[in-house]
Amino acid sequence: MTSWRHQLRRLSLTRVLLLALCFSAISLVVLAYWVSLKPSTSPSYVPPTRLIHEFVCPSDDGVHHVGPTNSHDEETLGNDRTEPRVLVMLESPYTRLGQAIVFILESVRYKHRVQVTSLGNDRRVLPPLTHAEKGRFAVIVFERLELYLSLDSWNRQLLDKYCKDFSAGIIAFAQPDEKLLNAQVKDFPLFIHSKLSLQDYYVSSESSVARVIRTQKAYVGNVPGSSWTVFISNHSTYVPVSHARISYTAAQDAASATDSTAEMPNIIYTPVILDTGAFDGIQRIFFGSGFEFWLHRVLFLDCLSFLSHGQHRQTLDRYILVDVDDVFVGRTGVRLTEGDVMAMIETQDRLQNYVDGFRFNLGFSGKYFHRGSLKENKGDDALIENRDKFWWFGHSYAHTKAHQFTSLHAIIDDMLHNQAFAQLHDIPVNTSYAVAPHHAGVYPVHSDLYKAWQQVWDVKVTSTEEYPHLKPARHRRGFVHHGIMVMPRQTCLLFTHTIFINKFPGGSQRLDHAIYGGELFQTILFNQVSVFMTHMTNYGNDRLALYTFESVLKFINCWTTLQLKTRPPLQLANYYFQLYPDETEPIWHNPCNDRRHLDIWSEKKSCDKLPNFIVIGPQKTGTTALYTFLAMHPSISSSRASAMTFEEVQFFGGDNYLLGLDWYLDHFPPVPQDSSSHHLVFEKSAGYFDSELAPGRIAALLPRVKLICILDDPARRAYSWYQHMRSHDDLTALSYSFFDVINASSHAEKPLKNLRRHCLNPGLYAQHLERWLNVFDISQMHIVDGETLRTDPVIALNSVQKFLAVDPLLDYAQLLRFNPRKGFYCPIRHPNNNNSSSTKCLGSGKGRSYPPIDDKSEALLKSFYHKSNLALSQLLQKLGREVPTWLQTS
Ligand code: A3P
């Protein structure tokens, strides 16, 4: 029986084992089959532990509720008695906090003026606070409260009166040098404890200051910074802006020193306090710490908005667009798999909860489709299958940088290939948007790229991080060129090669720091429109982009009242340029002064073509004579005549500037291959001198250029202009005498007033010179006496040659002869032929014969220019320059 039972047991044990084996085998097969079918996760993808961490928004529980949340009134009327400008009082331009204040103001583009003044400096002065009965500042920010408190009584009274009269507010940061306990703030019913560590911080709704930062949401735990000041007062003028407790360790330390602080951790203190003005009629906000704690950056903006009565206020809308720069370009091993694509879609769905209408915006270069491993090619297929879930835009087909194409035709050809690829795969391309590989061609502008975009795709919008320069990011701006709106782009710390968190520069803490209140968070906070650049590789591998964006957007949603939105690029660009209408006109910079720009600039273009010096005018002072004579020099090349602008280029003063740098460069001859390094290139456009725009534009492109201007008697210049207009059959000049023109009243008809302006305005030399000297050093400018140029050009040309340090020094006495018939010096036709005295004078339009100026006009002009000439004389003497002969006698 026992053996039978034993047999039976052995039999069933064998059977069970067999059965189990069979079951395992079948399960393995089924599992293998199932795994092979399962599409949604990349089997090889193991998310690093750090990335599984999900941001959790702290609840509002545990915070003492004292009023409605975020009650800062959206409709508050602006303060029309002051300009929307912030005055920043710094102790030194180099302090961390001072720089951070300026950084924030620049980032949000609030107008500001920085005034450096230091404690113990008797010459501490405020800048002029009013202008034409209007206040110049809406808010005054003191980097240190101590700086404000120690203002001498005269300045303090002046400032206090200003603040009362113009309802301007004050922000000050308390940074006492020593540890203080219950110390009174000088002149105020306010006390402080200082040098503390804090915990459990929240912004209160009592004060109505909070607008962007969410109130009643506690930052639990230790707050960054170890030198906090807290404010204590019983006076009704003070209302807490935020609350926190003193951290236990700090309180324990304090308690060991004195028993009076034993209760500190249980008391709720005020690290930021509002003085409502009930005490002395001035609204102030005192911060108990700087910006080490990210939340204070948001709060600072809210304080500016509150104290400026809404003058310094951005909307709560924050538009973001996330470009995935190129979804097919990447080497095998780091490309997207099917699982990555699914993860993108899932994340995108979730992000729509935070960002109204969110979609990833995918750029494509068709040539690289299906260029990965089998698994990665499935990723490409998954993108195409799910194409309707994304927005799409075109790159170049082969991801070639625009400046490397040999011709416009070649760029067009490449784009047509990409277009055909999109058609083949039925990709719903947003044709109004395109991005260039490596930003090449967008800025610095490669005109052919813009032309090709318009012809092939009808592109209306693009974006770049290069205008005006990559760094600093807060200075990036937009512009419009060739009808295409160029939006600034932001970076999110993820580049093509940052794809694994363990290789992230600075480690995962750096990325988290940027997300949770740091750089990335602030980019979205400060910029009302952010176009982010990411790369395909950021969505595969560790999927850093998904983690980054989901975390930062949740964080923003949690801590701020900002309304996150997205829109297709065209709508976004229209919105951007509505916000910043001043940005439409670009300012061109020299690509050779920026390594990155030079790398994406065509080799066919050369900075050597750009002028070394410019004759800036003014008109009718002998600019053509000087231009002609200088062009005779073997080491000097002039700009080429153009069908559009004739002898002059006229780039910097007017609308030709908008045609771009390529257009400007086309006006200069190719640099001679064998030319010495001393070869100089120049142009002259006589209208630059009195143009409002030219000095700034020239300084931006050619900061080291040399400038030559000719100053002749302005009365003579005015009369010459009048005669010039008459000989060009200008009806007004023909209808009115010179006296009538210069004597025309402000009620005269428009053409007469215009002619008067053109006759008289350029001759106000001092005021125009000042404008040039605002952006150029005087050492870059040479002034030619117009009379000397006319009567003794050799002298004038010698001093010009010296100024230009041109080699060789040409003896113009051998090249120019006075032509009695013309009445002017003219170039000798064959200067090498000693017997030749024949000259080739300037054309009939230069050195015209006309009757001398009448006495009445001469007298009128003498009095008209009297003040201006005096100012010029004084200016030249101040600058150590020679006063022209005509000015000495005028
Ligand atoms: P007028 O024609 O009224 O005499 P611009 O070239 O800047 O338009 O200036 C023209 C003026 O240059 C002429 O004005 C003339 O007086 C002056 N000029 C000076 N040197 C000259 C030269 N060598 N030949 C011709 N005109 C000269």
CA 397 – CA 382 distance, rounded (Å): 20
What per-residue confidence (pLDDT) applies to 645? 75
- The residue whose CA has the least distance to atom 17 of ligand 1 is 622
Of 6-10, 465-469, 567-571, minimum mean pLDDT range? 6-10
217-231, 638-652, 825-839, range with greatest mean pLDDT = 217-231
**pLDDT, average across residues 317-345:** 96
Task: Decide: 117 and 147 in contact? Cβ < 8 Å.
Answer: yes
What per-residue confidence (pLDDT) applies to 603? 85
CA 527 – CA 463 distance, rounded (Å): 15
Q: How far is the CA of 710 from the centre of ligand 1 (A)?
A: 11
- The residue whose CA has the least distance to atom 18 of ligand 1 is 622
What per-residue confidence (pLDDT) applies to 44? 42
CA 890 – CA 885 distance, rounded (Å): 9
pLDDT at 153 over 80: yes
pLDDT digits (tens, 9 = 90+) for 701-760: 999 999 999 999 999 999 999 999 999 999 999 999 999 999 999 999 999 999 999 999
pLDDT at 39 over 50: no
CA 579 – CA 318 distance, rounded (Å): 12
What per-residue confidence (pLDDT) applies to 102? 98
Residues 6+ apart with CB under 8 A from 395: 325, 326, 329, 363, 364, 365, 418, 434, 435, 436, 437
**pLDDT, average across residues 398-422:** 95
Angle, CA 774 vertex, CA 769 and CA 775 arms, to 5°: 105
pLDDT digits (tens, 9 = 90+) for 296-320: 999 999 999 999 999 999 999 999 9
pLDDT digits (tens, 9 = 90+) for 448-481: 999 999 999 999 999 999 999 999 999 999 999 9
**pLDDT, average across residues 318-336:** 95
Tell me which of 832 and 127 has the higher pLDDT.
127
Q: Ligand 1 in contact with 622 (CB < 6 A)?
A: yes
CA 91 – CA 369 distance, rounded (Å): 58
Q: How far is the CA of 518 from the centre of ligand 1 (A)?
A: 62
Residues forming the active site: 620
Q: Ligand 1 in contact with 716 (CB < 6 A)?
A: no
Among 718, 869, 712, CA closest to 784: 712
Among 556, 557, 531, 535, CA closest to 546: 535
Q: How far is CA 11 from CA 1, 8, 25, 300, in A?
A: 15, 5, 21, 82
Q: Ligand 1 in contact with 619 (CB < 6 A)?
A: yes
Q: How many CB atoms lie within 10 A of CB 389?
A: 15
Residue 53: pLDDT band with limits 50, 70, 90: low
What per-residue confidence (pLDDT) applies to 28? 47
For 650-706, the DSSP string reads --SSSGGGGG-HHHHHTTSPPPPTT--TT-EEEEE-GGGTT-SSHHHHHHHH-TT-E
Angle between helices 694-701 and 765-775 (to 10 degrees): 30
Which tokens is 785 given?
A: 């006496």
Half-sphere exposure of 438 (CA within 13 A, CB side): 15
DSSP H helical ranges for 175-325: 248-257, 295-307
pLDDT at 133 over 80: yes
Amino acid of residue 43: P
pLDDT at 232 over 80: yes
What per-residue confidence (pLDDT) applies to 706? 98
pLDDT at 423 over 70: yes
**pLDDT, average across residues 100-128:** 86
pLDDT at 834 over 70: no
pLDDT digits (tens, 9 = 90+) for 588-609: 999 999 999 999 998 888 888 8
CA 372 – CA 330 distance, rounded (Å): 8
pLDDT at 413 over 90: yes
CA 467 – CA 473 distance, rounded (Å): 10
**pLDDT, average across residues 385-409:** 95
The helix or strand, by DSSP H or E, that contains position 258, with its residue range, turns out to be none
Of 177-191, 661-675, 678-692, minimum mean pLDDT range? 661-675
Helix (H, G, I), strand (E, B) or coil at 353: coil
Task: Decide: 492 and 469 in contact? Cβ < 8 Å.
Answer: no
Helix (H, G, I), strand (E, B) or coil at 604: coil
- The residue whose CA has the least distance to atom 16 of ligand 1 is 847
**pLDDT, average across residues 765-778:** 98
Q: Ligand 1 in contact with 615 (CB < 6 A)?
A: no
Q: Ligand 1 in contact with 817 (CB < 6 A)?
A: no
DSSP H helical ranges for 439-543: 447-456, 507-515, 519-526
Amino acid of residue 224: P
Q: Ligand 1 in contact with 628 (CB < 6 A)?
A: no
The helix or strand, by DSSP H or E, that contains position 884, with its residue range, turns out to be none
What per-residue confidence (pLDDT) applies to 50? 44
Q: How many CB atoms lie within 10 A of CB 889?
A: 7
CA 612 – CA 401 distance, rounded (Å): 30
Of 7-16, 191-200, 351-360, 749-758, minimum mean pLDDT range? 7-16
Q: Which of 632, 846, 849, 853 to mutate to test the pocket of ligand 1 (most atoms within 8 A of CB)?
A: 846
The DSSP symbol for 612 reads S
pLDDT > 70 in the chain, percent: 88
Distance from the Cα of residue 72 to its chain's centroid: 29
The atom of ligand 1 lying closest to the CA of 623 is 7
The atom of ligand 1 lying closest to the CA of 617 is 7
Q: How far is the CA of 885 from the centre of ligand 1 (A)?
A: 17
pLDDT at 768 over 80: yes
Q: How far is CA 736 from CA 411, 581, 732, 751, in A?
A: 55, 41, 6, 11
Task: Decide: 345 and 555 in contact? Cβ < 8 Å.
Answer: no
pLDDT at 27 over 60: no
The atom of ligand 1 lying closest to the CA of 719 is 3
CA 642 – CA 478 distance, rounded (Å): 30
Q: How far is the CA of 824 from the centre of ligand 1 (A)?
A: 8
- Mean pLDDT rounded to a whole number for the chain: 90
Amino acid of residue 91: E
